[in-house]
Amino acid sequence: MTVLDQLDQMARGGAMALLALWSWVLLRDHWHDLSARLAAAMNAGIACYLIVTAGWFAAPNLAGLAFALGAGATPGLFWLFAKAWFNDEVQVAPTGAALVAGSVANTLVVQLTFPGGGMANTISAALFQLSMLGFAAAALWEVWRSREGDLVEPRRRVRPVLVCVVALYVIAIAFIEVTSGPRPPGRFWQQAVSIGAVCATFGFCAAMLRMRQADLFGPAPAAVTATRPAPGASDDPLAARLLQFMASQLPHRDETLSIARLAAQLGEQEYRLRRTINGQLGHRNFAAFLNGYRLAEVKAALADPRQKDVPIITIALDAGFGSLGPFNRAFRAAEGMTPSAFRARALADSEIG
């Protein structure tokens, strides 16, 4: 074994040790947070990739297959992690889980049909490479589209850098896979992967560990409530003025409303409004702040016998939801039932009363 080979093995071992340490901290302190669990799963997938590309499994065996499946799940887990972390999601959407499961199943086909799989292996390998790039691109899109809605300033500053680094690393791995085919990458690429993994892992852990735990993930997620904060609920003058403005002007009905536009309407600086909504009103995401008002308006309309013939989609759109899908997900998360079931129960209670 050459000196470079020894350094390669030490780099891989060091990276896996850091990933294990960080995963243990995440699961110990933030087990109830979805993004923490997904981060730990993603770390396990990265460790599997480092093991697979080390060339330790020259002959096919069940252990090598298990590590390969874990490595194949990494891009999808990274995408789910970015979605959950940036949007403060509390559950994985069935569609997202199905896409990741599909990528793992495709990885299984790649492994079982190598090396003499012919067309089946070629197609599956191409789909594997495309899925890696697709998941990385989707994660980058999550970084970009939700950057303005993050109200936690330390998290808002550090997350795009960290997630972009990991995304670029996944893209680099995808290109390595494209050039190498289903065989493990050559020694040069192995060493490049190891060095990149160690640098990315050290940077990731250092940035995460220096953040306050409350800024990183926040408290354990509580049940979503569809209520409007009462004006005067805070002693902060800006908070009181904001709540009064939301109650009187109903800006939440504008589905395109951004925090920058809301700050302009209030005549305040955006950073002050961000701090107020986060620090005084307790919201980590601007969309969640708006959805509290939207859901409260929808609930009132669904419980109103005079509006029993108004379509639910009309009520949702009037309240500021852009489409039926996000509305249904937000409503079920808040009430634990569908809007139609809520309407039926509310109207039945009103008739009894």
pLDDT tens, 181-206? 555 555 566 566 666 666 766 766 66
CA 25 to chain centre: 19
**What is the torsion angle, in degrees rounded to the nearest 10, for the CA atoms of residue 82, residue 74, residue 33 and residue 228?**
30
In this structure, are 139 and 272 located in the same domain? no
Q: Is 322 exposed, middle or buried (0-12, 13-18, 19+ CB in 10 A)?
A: exposed
Best CA proximity match to 170, nearest among 228, 213, 131 = 131
Query: What integer pLDDT is reported at residue 259 of this predicted model?
Result: 94
Q: Cα–Cα distance between 260 and 343 in angstroms, integer?
A: 34
In this structure, are 155 and 60 located in the same domain? yes
- The yes-or-no verdict on residue 219 having pLDDT over 90 is no
Contact present, 71 and 49 (Cβ < 8 Å): yes
Q: Domain for residue 229, yes or no? A: no
Count of structural domains, the chain: 2
- The yes-or-no verdict on residue 175 having pLDDT over 70 is no
In this structure, are 173 and 247 located in the same domain? no
Q: Domain for residue 226, yes or no? A: no
Query: What integer pLDDT is reported at residue 163 of this predicted model?
Result: 67
- The yes-or-no verdict on residue 158 having pLDDT over 80 is no
Query: What integer pLDDT is reported at residue 5 of this predicted model?
Result: 73
pLDDT in tens, 110-139: 888 876 667 888 888 888 888 888 888 888
Contact present, 337 and 312 (Cβ < 8 Å): no
Query: What integer pLDDT is reported at residue 185 of this predicted model?
Result: 55
CA 135 to chain centre: 12
Query: What integer pLDDT is reported at residue 8 of this predicted model?
Result: 75
In this structure, are 39 and 69 located in the same domain? yes
In this structure, are 207 and 275 located in the same domain? no
In this structure, are 31 and 107 located in the same domain? yes
Q: Cα–Cα distance between 277 and 17 in angstroms, integer?
A: 39
DSSP readout, 147-190? TTTB--HHHHHHHHHHHHHHHHHHHHHHHHHHHHTTSPP-HHHH
In this structure, are 251 and 332 located in the same domain? yes
CA 249 to chain centre: 32
DSSP 308: T
Domain at 245, CATH number: 1.10.10.60
Q: In this structure, what are the phi and psi dihedrals at residue 254, rounded to the nearest 5 degrees? A: -85, 110
Query: What integer pLDDT is reported at residue 225 of this predicted model?
Result: 46
DSSP readout, 15-82? HHHHHHHHHHHHHHHHTT-HHHHHHHHHHHHHHHHHHHTTT---S--HHHHHHHHHHHHHHHHHHHHH
In this structure, are 87 and 8 located in the same domain? yes
Query: What integer pLDDT is reported at residue 177 of this predicted model?
Result: 60
* Residue-averaged pLDDT of the chain: 82
How many CB atoms are located within 10 Å of the residue 204 CB? 22
Q: Among 115-129, 256-270, 308-322, which stretch is predicted with the lowest mean pLDDT?
A: 115-129
Q: What's the CA angle centered on 68, arms 64 and 73, to 5 degrees?
A: 155
Contact present, 136 and 157 (Cβ < 8 Å): no
Contact present, 39 and 80 (Cβ < 8 Å): no
Q: In this structure, what are the phi and psi dihedrals at residue 77, rounded to the nearest 5 degrees? A: -65, -35
Contact present, 297 and 254 (Cβ < 8 Å): no
- Tell me the two tokens of residue 282: 């307790």
- The yes-or-no verdict on residue 220 having pLDDT over 60 is no
- Tell me the two tokens of residue 137: 């691109």
pLDDT confidence bin for 85, thresholds 50/70/90? confident
Query: What integer pLDDT is reported at residue 224 of this predicted model?
Result: 41
Q: Domain for residue 228, yes or no? A: no
Query: What integer pLDDT is reported at residue 148 of this predicted model?
Result: 81
Q: Among 34-43, 216-225, 286-295, 340-349, which stretch is predicted with the lowest mean pLDDT?
A: 216-225
Greater pLDDT, 333 or 193: 333
- Domain membership of residue 162 as a residue range: 3-216
Q: What's the CA angle centered on 279, arms 273 and 281, to 5 degrees?
A: 80
Query: What integer pLDDT is reported at residue 338 of this predicted model?
Result: 93
Range 50-61 average pLDDT: 76
